[in-house]
Structure formats: structure tokens, C-alpha cells
Amino acid sequence: MAKKIDVLVVDDSAYMRKVISNLLQSDEDIFVVDTARDGLDAIEKVKQWRPAVVTLDVEMPRLDGLGALERIMRECPTPVVMLSSLTLEGNETTIKALTMGAVDFVPKPSGAISLDIHQVREELITKIKVAARASISNLHGPLTLKMTKPFSAPVSSLPGHAPKKLVIIGCSTGGPNALQQVIPRLPGDLPAAVLVVQHMPPGFTNSLAKRLNETSQLEVCEAKEGDVLQTGKVYVAPGAYHMGLLSKTVIGLNQDPPVHSVRPAADVTFESAVKYYGSQIVGVILTGMGYDGSKGMASVKKMGGKTVAQDEATCVVYGMPRVVVEMGKADKVLPIQQIADEIVHMLTS
């Protein structure tokens, strides 16, 4: 019989601790070893029990979720799934947690005390099982960035002009942390527009774009219907919407059915863009579960474009990149710290 996944449940509400524990233990593969009432209690119990996964509430007294996460990752690295409220402040805190080393998050359906937490049972259980298999060594905050030395771009490729080339990046679990190690490393005069597809629900993608924008030389925004592509700008697909191109320069969003059970899906963006940019695309697939992006990367290769996949050693979850590599559709397989430089090289060589 396979060993169960030991989980520590952390929440300041006794009611939520009980409900979440019961919800998790309704799955035969999960065992809740203990609960903790706040961040300080959580740190002690992580060290005591050494659980496989921690579910961590964002808002708690004494030491909140971010403070607890920082200490857990520093003192006793453990996969963490955050439970966050559906507020702007909660969204921004969650994105910060993901860049600090949390594997994933699940939004509470109706605030701190969610009487309807059962609505996210399947999502929470699935993400705990993924987190239990995540690479501990790659659960860290962004590395200190050594900024890429800006290159001299052709005048026609300066920021603000319609792009002649396109970079498309797809990612899922572990993606916000990985993006924090790629986008800020790209130079401000990058001769391309960048489309980012991160599997994430509504609201959180805007917070992700804002956080990336704060640390990047490029302008980063959440994409909107009708946005006109500009060289040197990064467009993040909004949660719950597929992102494609209506023409060579105009972004279109839709709520067509999920592809590979996700929306946005990277394959939708790749398949739409390849019609207009063909060989002028650099495709990138980063850490994540599943196989979204593999069909799109194959299309890019077929049209003569270039492709990069993150290597297993630096992925939190080696799923999406593994499929691309096994299909033979990755021109380069690189650690996350080298991908930005490779994008620049592929665009300018």
C-alpha cells in the first residue's frame, strides 16, 4: 500500500482547520498529521512532523502566511499550497507567496471563513498531490538578478514599434517564480513582443503582471481585448480567457472551452500566433503539470521558429517541458537562469 501524503493544515480559524482537515482526509491518499493556528505554531509543527505538504492560510495573527512561508522555506523547506481570499490584496499577497517559493495556491470561495470550501475540494486535493511531488531544491525565491547587458537593437525594433518577432512563454505550476527569473532578465530594448500564458484563475494574472512590471526593464501588463502589440512589451493572458491574435498586431481574448482542461492555454496562443509570425517566433515552455504548449511548440518548429524548454534540474514540476523535450521539439534545454539570455540570442542571431 502506497504511503499517504502527510499534510499540515494551517489556519487561524478552528472551524476552517476542522473543515479543511476533513475535506483532505476524505481522499484515501492524504493524511492530516496536525493543524496549526498561526504562523509561529506552523513553523514549530513543520519541524516536529516534517509533513510532505503544508496548506497555509494567508491572513493570520502573530505571524501571517508570508512571514511563515519565508521562515519555512529558510529553516525547513517544505512544499506549501497557499489558501487565499479573493480580494485584490489577497491576490497580490498570493503572487508574492508564489515568487517566494510556494508551489501553488487555492482561492477560498468566500473569504477567510468559507462555509463553501467544499467547492474547491478537487482543486485543493489535486494541488496537494502535485506539491508532494514538487522539487524541494527549486522551491526558493527569485535569485539575485544579474541584469542582461542591453544590446544595440535595430532602430526599426525599438520599443513602441509593431513587432517583427514574437516570444511566447507557457508555464503552469511553479511558473510565477520561473517568470520572475526570466522576464526581469530580458533587456529593455528586446526586439520582440512577449506573450505569457500562465495557468491561473481570474484576478491573479493582473497581480502577476504588476509584480513582474515592478522588477523588469520591459513594460508588463495583463492583456486586454484589442491590445495592439508593441515591441518591448510583455502581455500576460488574463485568467479564464484564451489569448490569441486577431491579426499580426491585435490581441483577441475568448472564453472558448478549456484546452487540456485549462484556460488560458498556451497551445491556443501558439496556434493563433504561428499563422502570422511563423519562423519569427521563439517559443518557451517552463515548469508545469501536463502537456499544454507541446502542440504549439511543434508548430513553431515546423514553421522554422526556435524553441527553448526549461531543464528538469530547475523545474518545480517537470511536466510541460518534459513532453516538449521527449517530442524532440526543443532546440535548447536550459536551466531557468540561462533562458532569458538564450531568448535574446535566438532573437538576434
Q: Record the cell numbers describing residue 150, joined without a space.
A: 542591453
In our burial notation (b when 16+ CB lie closer than 10 A, e otherwise), range 108-121 reads beeebebeebeebe
In the Cβ-directed half-sphere of 46, how many Cα atoms lie within 13 Å? Answer: 26
Closest CA relative to residue 16, chosen from 106, 139, 143: 106
Q: Taking the CA atoms of 197, 203, 206 and 211 in sequence, report the sign of the dihedral they define.
A: negative
Q: Using CA atoms, how far apart are residues 68 and 197, in angstroms rounded to an integer? A: 29
Round to whole Å and give the CA distance between 1 and 15: 32
List active site positions.
Answer: 172, 199, 292
Which CA distances in Å does 149 have to 90, 142, 145, 197, 340? Answer: 35, 19, 12, 26, 11
How many angstroms separate the CA atoms of 176 and 181, rounded? 9
Beta sheet of 30-36, edge-to-edge order:
30-36, 5-10, 53-57, 80-84, 104-107
| Short-list 83, 78, 69, CA closest to 121 | 83
